[in-house]
Amino acid sequence: MDSTHETDPAHQVPEGVDEKTVRALGALSKALETTERARGHLYEFHQLTGTADFELGDAVRLLREAGHEELADRVERDIVGRNVIPGRWTFQIVEEYNATYYQPFAALERKIVDEVGGGRDHLLEARLKAIRRTPGHPDHGATPSS
């Protein structure tokens, strides 16, 4: 790569790694990033569901204060603390997702990057950065100090 398309040393494609491998690593990384986003939504689902369950406590109290004891009892009995799927609260769904999908995926992605990418993350993105930079522009340096 000529100096026009300089890449910072931490993200240079290791010797012997071809373009198809760089693209494959980029696709693998993108898939893991998408999984990270899905995982974030799962944590959001977990927190929102928990918040809703505590808000139900307020609804139960207000129903009682309004004289609707039977309705308050029904909400408290049938909905407060209810499993979101059979036998599971949201924290259990998060734990199982992490153990059965996310952690094995992240570990395998790391192993592949280490084996075929020399342990260097984001090779494809670094190549794109190098290509899309304006040489000499103060806000387009290859690294923070360049």
Give the pLDDT score at 131.
85
Give the whole-angstrom CA distance, residue 140 versus residue 146: 9
Coarse DSSP helix, strand, coil percentages of the chain, rounded to the nearest 5 percent: 70, 0, 30
Q: Are 2 and 131 in contact (CB under 8 A)?
A: no
pLDDT of residue 142: 81
Q: What is the predicted pLDDT for the residue at 77?
A: 98
Per-residue pLDDT of the chain (146 residues; tens, 9 = 90+): 445 567 778 888 888 999 999 999 999 999 999 999 999 999 999 999 999 999 999 999 999 999 999 999 999 999 999 999 999 999 999 999 999 999 999 999 999 999 999 999 888 888 888 888 888 898 888 888 75
What's the pLDDT score for residue 1? 44
So where are the chain's domains?
18-126
Phi-psi group of 132: left, alpha or beta (phi > 0 → left; psi -120 to 50 → alpha; rest → beta): alpha
Average pLDDT over all residues of the chain: 92
pLDDT of residue 146: 59
pLDDT of residue 2: 44
**How confident is the model over 71-82, as pLDDT tens digits?**
999 999 999 999
pTM above 0.85, yes or no: no
pLDDT of residue 92: 98
Rounded distance between C-alpha atoms, residue 59 and residue 75, angstroms: 9
The answer to whether 11 and 122 are in contact (CB under 8 A) is: yes
The whole-angstrom separation of Cα 119 and Cα 19 is: 16
